[in-house]
């Protein structure tokens, strides 16, 4: 059978010599590697003093977006929940009532929108599936918590603040 890669090495089955049985060459080789690593740059970051730089494609916490007028963009189409391979997104749709035009863009909106961050794998499929650009993954870490229910983020946790309500 032919190997898939060229990285295969033949195993040497001959008995060890007396010098090899003493393991002195192996110990010297290991000490040489250790000594070499002493003078290399450390990979550790002193967190409070230094902030780690992230990749431009880093995916963090989810955020539900608003449009220019401060209305929720999410129309509860469910494409993000269907696209999620971990099944971390749960939503329930509701009909917009008369007088709520300033709150929701479309006739249908997400009455309940939850993301279980313990199940989320931060793949970004929900962001790609959303036709209204209602959800995106920010550059913020998921904070630590002591209880499991603290990792289930509801709509009020995910929705960005209304810019019109802040200006008043």
| Binding-site sequence positions for [4Fe-4S] cluster | 74, 77, 80, 84, 120, 123, 126, 130
Strands 108-116 and 152-153: antiparallel
Q: Note the Cα 102 to chain centre separation in Å.
A: 32
Residue (of 122, 155, 161, 127) closest to 141 by Cα position: 122
Calpha distance 128→82 (Å, rounded)? 12
Question: Residues within the annotated binding site?
Answer: 74, 77, 80, 84, 120, 123, 126, 130
For residue 97, give the DSSP letter: P
Q: Note the Cα 119 to chain centre separation in Å.
A: 11
């Amino acid at each position: 059978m032919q190997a898939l890669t060229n990285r295969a090495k033949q195993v040497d089955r001959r008995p060890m010599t007396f010098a090899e049985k003493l393991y002195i060459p192996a110990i010297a080789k290991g000490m040489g590697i250790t000594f070499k690593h002493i003078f290399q740059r450390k990979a550790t970051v002193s967190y409070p003093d230094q902030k780690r730089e992230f990749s431009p494609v880093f995916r963090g916490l989810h955020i539900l977006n608003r449009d220019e007028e401060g209305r929720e963009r999410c129309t509860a189409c469910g494409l993000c929940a269907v696209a999620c391979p971990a099944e971390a997104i749960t939503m329930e749709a509701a009909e917009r009532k008369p007088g709520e035009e300033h709150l929701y863009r479309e006739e249908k909106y997400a009455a309940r929108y939850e993301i279980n961050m313990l199940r989320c794998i931060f793949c970004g499929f929900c962001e790609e599936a959303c036709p209204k650009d209602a959800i995106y993954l920010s550059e913020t870490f998921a904070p630590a918590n002591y209880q499991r229910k603290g990792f289930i983020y509801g709509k009020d946790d995910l929705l960005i603040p209304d810019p019109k309500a802040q200006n008043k």
